[in-house]
């Protein structure tokens, strides 16, 4: 992956890091607020629900207990017992009157207690029944086929859960309270009070609005009445076992919603009824969700602002960089270059001033390079010219030699031959460096010409140790000094001595040229400041300096006993050096 | 190029947050719509408010059916009005209604017998309906009964004729001559006596009407002695006429023309499992012209109507069948008034209800829906028209006698039927009981 700060564009980096930071912060805020508030809400909700459930439980219990008590007092009614036990079976009129009386009192109960949907009496011989009445007298034999038959088997009284009962007004949802009526331990009938489920549900709902899921459990934990959506009986029995004590709360997973529900239950202190409320977790956390959404919205706005801000900031940051890059791209040696702004005082300011200084340096370098280039060009032209002249001269000398031989001029011919040799060595295929041996041959040729001129009065000695002859040195270094000695040192004289000694001194080659001429004038200036001699020596000095630097060079001084001593200091070159200049 | 690259980068990051942003903007969507709250807050009873009217009536299954249909039709026209009906047979109806009224929990609209109007109005249990219901096309004789002290408390729903119904098929099978309109009480008792030998086992001619206040009233009317209570609230049973009546019934009882007391007591009008005529135990019983449909719907074509037997005078009479009153405790009096107005004055209601509560009181409606009457309705109309000719002028009697009619007569009926009292004793019992009610 590598360091992203080296890889991606600055503005993207800016935006990316800001966005990342904000996402982290907002995410943390969302998570924290959601988890804190939803737990807090759940606690609040469950405690509120506890209170409400207690209250509702009381209300419902009161109603159900009332029904139970009415049922009890009714079942103890002498007229009812007497009718059901058939104690007046011999007197049909009395029985009929009893029948009417029972019906009347039951009807009064039903009429005055709106909660009661109707009352069924199961008895032997119920012949005075009225199918279009709230009070039904039914045959005891039908009891075993009733919905409640199972629940009253083990108990002398029982509540059923909610079911739909066929009445003369159609189907009605009811809960039934069944009480067995015994006389002398003999079953004589059942008193079944049907309670309107809808009215109990209204109580169950209380003043709550919206979607509520509540239910009422009997002593054995079976739901007998519910509103809203609750788990079905099978999955319910498991839950019922978890409910211990007076009241409690726990969270359950169910099929209603993915996140489960909060279950709050409350058991009445003096009855067996348990009230249960189920609240979908999503409903409890609705507030948290709202908060979360609000934070998320703020986050989204923050991201949006970040986009704008980072774009502005990064533009400010990249603007100078772009200018710099633009200036670099457009840089040219000639003409006007882009001006960089000068009002930056920070890092960009340093960068700009650095760039400016560098440009100035480049300008200087280019300037000096140009000068050198010009010098070199001129030197090349000189060299070309110098190459042409000797060839022309050499050929001309050769023709002159042949002319001199033809004319019997032995001396001239010899001189021309020596000159030709000198030219050949001087050309030496354009090489700058020649062997010491060649240099000495060149010098010998020159001296032989001068000896012919001086008719043998010029004496020349050389001392070249063994091995030095094959070393290399710049050509035509010695000749100017010898020429200077002959022309100026032996001026007005017809004889003279010249000695050339070469010595190896470490990695240096020391060449001493001594003459016994007039020597130097006072002040160390050579006495040779006329045009020809001066040019030659200066040329040598410049060449040595150019080739090897100032460490090497030429020293002129007076020789003890008259004359001049020239010491030429050269590096000892055992091989031909690379050509350095043109 | 770089621009597009950057744009795609930013949009990619934006895409990460878009769902969050969407959630954020979704907050406004989760705000509860305030429309419901508004409609609650306005509070006044506008057409938009949904109202549940409780309505209670008695009757046979056929009446329940058409009444429910009418309620449905009304709710369709007025979607804001729904009904919570409570209906039953006549038996126990008054008890139930009285109990609820005592608890100030009476239904908004209640069906009441013309005999109860005065009692209920005097107890301030009915709302004043003066001018609330259009009565232009209603016979003044009928509406008069709804007025107490010049204020109207109840609206008549229909008009019926009191007569008899007989099991035509069964009587033909047993070769018993069929009664004809205009027959006399003499004919009735003769027919009953002479039919006994032709009866099968467990078969009887008619119910034991000895102690039946309506049957006896018809008899006393026919004998020219008027109603059993005078309009001024006095006991008005003619002893001789009563004894004549009761002894003739005693004969029938002894000869086996009427069922034994326990069978007689088990009778429940219109109940297929308890109605003695429907069960084939008896052949003749009292009926209102409007009730024919209730029986006919259970055994179509089996029964026929005949006028109440006469004597010196006609035995039958026309009477307003029943009234609608509005509970004084109702919270929706105005809506209830509108409904009652629609119930009697609209042809739509008239067509649905037919003669289930008697001939429609609104003559225009009655004429308009006449053609739509079912065969059963038309059969009832024949009895109605036959009775119309010289029928007795019916009177509800003085107020305050409801219990005497309902309870004291009921006991006497049983005592006579079970043979616990002689006719003289029965008369004395009624006479003595009446003393409580006489002003």
Concatenating the DSSP letter of every residue in A366-416 gives HHHHHHHHHHHHHHHHHHHHHHHHHHHHHHHHHHHHHHHHHTT-HHHHHHH
Coil, helix or strand at residue A505: strand
Mean pLDDT computed over A296-319: 84
Residues B38 and B176 in one domain: no
Task: Give the confidence band of A522 by pLDDT, cuts at 50, 70, 90.
Answer: low
What does the pLDDT read at residue B306? 95
Question: Over A478-496, what HEC string results?
Answer: HHHHHHHHHHHHCCCCCCE
Distance from CA of B45 to the nearest CA of A (A): 22
Instruction: Out of B10, B20, B270, name the one closest to residue A296 (CB).
Output: B20
Region label for A366, one of left (φ > 0), alpha (ψ between -120 and 50) or beta (otherwise): alpha
Q: Where are the alpha helices (DSSP H) in B297-422?
A: 333-345, 347-353, 363-369, 375-388, 402-403, 409-417
Residue A285 contacts residue B30 (beta carbons within 8 Å): no
Coil, helix or strand at residue A427: helix
Task: State how far Cα A176 lies from the chain centre.
Answer: 71
The 10s digit of each residue's pLDDT in A146-192 is 888 888 888 888 899 889 988 888 888 999 999 999 888 888 999 99
User: Does B281 reside within a domain?
Assistant: yes
Coil, helix or strand at residue A171: strand
Best-predicted range by mean pLDDT (A342-351, A571-580, B220-229) = B220-229
Burial class (CB in 10 A: 0-12, 13-18, 19+), A335: exposed
Residues B383 and B273 in one domain: no
What does the pLDDT read at residue B5? 56
Q: Which residues contact B10 (CB under 8 A, 6 or more apart)?
A: A15, A307
A450 or B75, higher pLDDT? B75
What does the pLDDT read at residue B10? 55
User: Does B439 reside within a domain?
Assistant: no
User: Does B190 reside within a domain?
Assistant: yes
Q: What percent of chain A has pLDDT over 70?
A: 93
Q: Is the confidence at residue A77, as pLDDT, over 50?
A: yes
Q: Which residues of A fall within a CB distance of 8 Å from B92? A: 103, 107, 130, 133-135
Exposed e or buried b for every residue in B327-345, given b needs 16+ CB within 10 A?
Answer: bbbbebbebbbbbbbbbbb
Burial class (CB in 10 A: 0-12, 13-18, 19+), A65: middle
Q: What percent of chain A has pLDDT over 90?
A: 10
Residues B154 and B202 in one domain: no
| CB-CB under 8 Å, A112 with B27 | no
Query: Which two tokens mark B369?
Result: 């829906």
Handedness of CA A473, A474, A475, A477 (dihedral sign): negative
Coil, helix or strand at residue A53: helix
Q: Which residues contact B64 (CB under 8 A, 6 or more apart)?
A: B87
What does the pLDDT read at residue B420? 92
β-pair partners for A498: A460, A515
Closest CA to B115 of B275, B281, B301, B321: B321
Give me the domain span that covers residue B288. Answer: 161-318+396-434
Mean pLDDT, chain A, as a whole number?
83
Residues B128 and B138 in one domain: yes
Residues B135 and B267 in one domain: no
Q: Is the confidence at residue A193, as pLDDT, over 80?
A: yes
What does the pLDDT read at residue B33? 39
Residues B188 and B334 in one domain: no
Residues B401 and B272 in one domain: yes
Mean pLDDT computed over A484-499: 80
Distance from CA of B37 to the nearest CA of A (A): 12
What interhelical angle do A286-329 and B2-30 show, nearest 10?
160
Residues B79 and B151 in one domain: yes
User: Does B290 reside within a domain?
Assistant: yes
B243 or A478, higher pLDDT? B243
The CATH number of whichever domain residue B172 belongs to comes to: 3.40.190.10
Number of domains chain B is built from: 2
Residues B43 and B147 in one domain: yes
Exposed e or buried b for every residue in A377-407, given b needs 16+ CB within 10 A?
Answer: eeeeeeeeeeeeebeebbeebeebbeebeee
| CB-CB under 8 Å, A128 with B265 | yes
| CB-CB under 8 Å, A296 with B24 | yes
Residues B296 and B347 in one domain: no
Query: Which two tokens mark A434?
Result: 């020649």
Q: Is the confidence at residue A416, as pLDDT, over 80?
A: yes
Q: Is the confidence at residue A256, as pLDDT, over 60?
A: no
Instruction: Determine the Cα–Cα distance for residues A72 and A65; give it in Å rounded to an integer.
Output: 10
Element (H, E) at A570: strand A564-571
What does the pLDDT read at residue A529? 43
Query: Which two tokens mark B379?
Result: 């059969």
Q: Which residues of chain B have pLDDT under 70?
A: 1-48
What does the pLDDT read at residue B44? 42
| CB-CB under 8 Å, B24 with A300 | yes
What does the pLDDT read at residue B336? 95
What does the pLDDT read at residue B45? 42
Residues B95 and B237 in one domain: no
Enumerate chain A positions whose Cβ falls within 8 A of a Cβ in B: 9, 11-12, 15-16, 19, 23, 26, 92-93, 96-97, 100, 103-104, 107-108, 110-112, 114, 127-135, 168-169, 290, 292-294, 296-300, 303, 307
Query: Which two tokens mark A516?
Result: 């016994």
Residues B53 and B33 in one domain: yes
Instruction: Determine the Cα–Cα distance for residues A478 and A500; give it in Å rounded to an integer.
Output: 9
Closest CA to B257 of B281, B278, B274: B281
Instruction: Out of A92, A134, A300, name the one closest to residue B17 (CB).
Output: A300
Q: How far apart, in Å, are the Cα atoms of B219 and each of A255, A289, A354, B216? A: 72, 81, 136, 5
Q: Is the confidence at residue A393, as pLDDT, over 80?
A: no
């Amino acid at each position: 992956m590598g360091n992203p700060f080296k890889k991606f564009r600055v503005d993207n980096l800016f935006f990316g890091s800001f966005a990342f930071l904000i996402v982290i912060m907002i995410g943390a805020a969302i998570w924290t607020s959601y988890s804190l508030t939803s737990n807090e809400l759940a606690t609040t909700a469950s405690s509120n629900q506890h209170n409400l459930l207690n209250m509702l439980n009381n209300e419902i219990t009161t109603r159900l207990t009332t029904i139970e008590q009415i049922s009890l007092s009714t079942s103890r009614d002498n007229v009812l017992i007497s009718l059901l036990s058939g104690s007046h079976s011999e007197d049909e009129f009395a029985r009929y009157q009893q029948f009417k009386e029972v019906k009347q009192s039951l009807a009064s109960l039903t009429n005055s207690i709106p909660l009661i949907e109707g009352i069924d009496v199961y008895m032997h011989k119920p012949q005075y029944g009225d199918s279009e009445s709230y009070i039904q007298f039914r045959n005891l034999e039908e009891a075993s086929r009733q919905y409640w038959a199972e629940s009253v088997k083990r108990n002398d009284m029982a509540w059923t859960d909610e079911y739909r009962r066929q009445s003369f007004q159609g189907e009605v949802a009811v809960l039934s309270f069944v009480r067995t009526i015994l006389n002398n331990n003999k079953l004589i009938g059942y008193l079944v009070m049907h309670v309107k489920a809808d009215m109990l549900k209204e109580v169950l709902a209380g003043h709550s609005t919206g979607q509520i899921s509540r239910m009422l459990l009997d002593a054995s934990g079976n739901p007998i009445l519910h509103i809203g959506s609750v788990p079905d009986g099978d999955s319910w029995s498991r839950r019922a076992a978890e409910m211990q004590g007076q009241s409690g709360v726990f969270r359950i997973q169910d099929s209603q919603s993915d996140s489960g529900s909060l279950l709050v239950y409350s058991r009445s202190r003096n009855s067996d009824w348990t009230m249960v409320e189920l609240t979908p977790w999503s409903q409890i956390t609705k507030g948290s969700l709202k908060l979360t959404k609000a934070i998320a919205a703020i986050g989204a706005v923050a991201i949006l602002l970040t986009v704008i801000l980072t774009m502005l900031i990064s533009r400010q940051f990249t603007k100078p960089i772009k200018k710099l890059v633009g200036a670099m791209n457009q840089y040219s040696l000639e003409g006007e270059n882009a001006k960089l702004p000068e009002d930056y005082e920070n890092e960009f300011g340093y960068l700009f001033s650095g760039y400016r200084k560098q440009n100035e340096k480049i300008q200087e370098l280019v300037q000096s390079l140009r000068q050198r280039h010009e010098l070199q060009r001129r030197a090349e032209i000189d060299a070309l010219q110098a190459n042409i002249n000797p060839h022309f001269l050499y050929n001309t000398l050769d023709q002159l030699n042949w002319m001199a031989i033809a004319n019997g001029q032995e001396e001239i011919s010899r001189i021309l031959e020596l000159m030709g040799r000198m030219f050949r060595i001087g050309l030496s295929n354009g090489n700058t460096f020649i062997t010491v041996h060649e240099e000495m041959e060149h010098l010998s040729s020159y001296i032989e010409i001068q000896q012919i001129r001086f008719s043998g009065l010029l004496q020349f000695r050389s001392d070249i140790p063994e091995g030095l002859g094959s070393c290399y040195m710049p050509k035509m270094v010695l000749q100017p000094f010898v020429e200077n000695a002959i022309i100026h040192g032996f001026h007005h004289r017809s004889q003279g001595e010249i000695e050339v000694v070469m010595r190896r001194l470490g990695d240096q080659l020391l060449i001493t040229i001594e003459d016994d001429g007039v020597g130097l004038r006072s002040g160390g200036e050579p006495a040779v400041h006329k045009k020809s001699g001066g040019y030659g020596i200066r040329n040598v000095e410049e060449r040595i300096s150019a080739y090897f630097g100032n460490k090497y060079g030429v020293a002129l001084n007076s020789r003890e006993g008259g004359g001049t001593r020239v010491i030429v200091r050269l590096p000892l070159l055992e091989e031909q050096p690379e050509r350095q200049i043109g | 190029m770089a621009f597009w690259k950057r744009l795609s980068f930013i949009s990619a990051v934006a895409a990460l947050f878009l769902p969050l942003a969407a959630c954020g903007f979704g907050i406004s969507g989760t705000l509860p719509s305030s429309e419901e709250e508004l409609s609650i807050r306005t509070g006044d009873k506008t057409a938009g408010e949904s109202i549940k009217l409780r309505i209670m009536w008695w009757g046979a299954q056929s009446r329940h059916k058409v009444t429910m249909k009418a309620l449905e039709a009304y709710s369709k026209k007025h979607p804001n009005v729904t009904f919570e009906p409570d209906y039953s047979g006549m038996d126990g109806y008054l008890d139930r209604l009285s109990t609820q009224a005592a608890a100030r929990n009476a239904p908004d609209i209640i069906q009441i017998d013309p005999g109860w109007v005065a009692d209920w109005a005097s107890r301030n249990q009915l709302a004043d309906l003066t001018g609330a219901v259009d009565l232009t096309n209603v016979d003044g004789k009928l509406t008069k009964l709804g007025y107490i002290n010049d204020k109207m408390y109840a609206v008549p729903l229909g008009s019926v004729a009191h007569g008899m119904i007989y099991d035509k098929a069964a009587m033909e099978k047993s070769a018993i001559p069929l009664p004809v309109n205009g027959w006399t009480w003499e004919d009735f008792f003769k027919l009953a006596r002479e039919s006994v030998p032709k009866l099968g086992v467990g078969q009887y001619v008619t119910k034991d009407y000895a102690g039946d206040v309506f049957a006896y009233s018809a008899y006393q009317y026919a004998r020219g002695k008027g109603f059993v209570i005078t309009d001024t609230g006095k006991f008005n049973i003619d002893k001789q006429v009563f004894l004549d009546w009761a002894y003739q019934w005693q004969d029938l009882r002894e000869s086996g023309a009427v069922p034994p007391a326990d069978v007689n007591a088990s009778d429940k009008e219109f109940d297929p499992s308890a109605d003695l005529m429907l069960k084939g135990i008896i052949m003749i019983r009292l009926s209102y012209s409007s009730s024919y449909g209730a029986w006919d719907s259970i055994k179509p074509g089996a029964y026929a109507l005949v006028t109440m037997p006469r004597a010196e005078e006609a035995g039958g009479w026309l009477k307003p069948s029943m009234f609608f009153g509005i509970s004084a405790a109702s919270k929706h009096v105005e809506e209830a008034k509108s409904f009652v107005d629609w119930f009697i004055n609209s042809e739509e209601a008239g067509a649905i209800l037919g003669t289930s509560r008697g001939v429609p009181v609104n003559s225009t409606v009655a004429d308009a829906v006449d053609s739509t009457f079912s065969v059963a309705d038309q059969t009832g109309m024949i009895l109605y028209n036959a009775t119309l000719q010289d029928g007795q002028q019916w009177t509800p009697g003085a107020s305050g006698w409801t219990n005497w009619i309902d309870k004291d007569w009921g006991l006497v009926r049983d005592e006579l039927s079970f043979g616990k009292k002689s006719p003289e004793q029965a008369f004395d019992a009624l006479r003595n009981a009446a003393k409580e009610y006489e002003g």
